[in-house]
Structure 1
């Protein structure tokens, strides 16, 4: 399907592509015996903006797509759409799948390319009115501690005057551990949005520290 979409982008609607990928992600979670718990869905029910999660595993993008599924059983309830910004160095299979939701790719060591990618990503989120997911650590971080939160996510939120939704992904590190024998529960917590008017005058470092603190507290709470 990804190949057909690339050749004929008008063939598949955004809704069709996203729901197709959602089903694929849910299938992967079943294969790896992962139970998903979603907290704070009410924080993303209205509007759009930038979801900013911690990053411990390659399963994280898959978990996030599944977490955006509308839990309502009401007829006509629609899922939230999201796209990602990602490094070109990711696996070809993952990039091909993510191309269905118009992921923005950047080159790790090319500052100009990364800057242009962030601009395009911000414009896409604002124009399409979807959620944009950006991992502020920039890469998977091993261990319990959080890595450095880079400023890119917060710069584009300010430049597009859009909210930031801190997101804590708990217990995903062992998702692909072949030695794991038990089912794994991964928790995705969408925290209260930071509205633009609350951070526009702040330095990016101050916003970064605040988001990191909120995520850290949620991870600690979910671990107990």
Structure 2
């Protein structure tokens, strides 16, 4: 049964984008014309719908807690642990609205998906190129400065260890929050890897838990607090996994 769910996943993933290709083109025309409100409306309607569809066809049930912890008075930087390919659609479907993501450069090469991600405000990063990484962080910082929240996975890659663990949280991504003074909102994701990667990249039904934790203020942080921030956020997330 898992092989049929996996096939359905990829058929749906690209099928939705093909069926709604005219919407994509409309949003891109609006972006070119500077009509950001139309872009935001189309993105807010279609990306969560697409993401929820991915979960539905693979039998994934999503449990979300703590949405009231998302600041209402300005942008924030969501910081989440990264275990699975599911993590991106989980956050696009589970948060109060879809937000741009600091994503690996490989996703920029996937037709149609890359165009939707650019409309969403995603920034693609080359992890093995220091200068390109700095440019990506600067681009993400500019997005937060413009008033839009942003999502980062500070481990930089999927953690392949046991459930309940997490890799090192790299400091670079936290500069987005520190430079803008935006609060960091930790997000703990558990159960996703066990429904896909743990079964040889075959989709398996089950429940994934997303917990949005209280925000951490960065405005006015001392140098010492800034240095401790990555590990402090990591420990906060680990306590929830």
TM-score bracket for this pair, using the shorter chain length: 0.7 to 0.9
Partner of 2:4: none
2:176 equivalent to 1:156: yes
Normalising by structure 1, what TM-score?
A: 0.84
Partner of residue 61 from structure 2, selected from 25, 30, 35: 35
Secondary structure at the aligned position of 2:223 is classed as: coil
2: CA distance, partners of 1:179 / 1:113: 33
2:49 equivalent to 1:23: yes
1: CA distance, partners of 2:159 / 2:40: 32
Q: Judging by fraction of residues, say which structure has more helix.
A: 2
2: CA distance, partners of 1:168 / 1:157: 18
Deviation string 1:10-65 (CA, Å, 9 cap, x unpaired) is 47421222221110001001011011111110011513210000000011010001
Gaps of 5+ in 1: 70-79, 220-224
CA shift for structure 1 position 152? 1.6
Gaps of 5+ in 2: 1-20
The 4+ residue runs of structure 1 with deviation greater than 3 A are 1-8, 177-181, 197-201
Partner of 1:135: 153
Residues 9-158 of structure 1: matches in 2 within 5 Å? 9=31, 10=33, 12-46=38-72, 47-69=74-96, 80-90=97-107, 92-93=110-111, 94-127=113-146, 129-144=147-162, 145-158=165-178
Deviation string 1:98-147 (CA, Å, 9 cap, x unpaired) is 223021112222111110110111111220x2220010000111122211
Normalising by structure 2, what TM-score?
A: 0.78
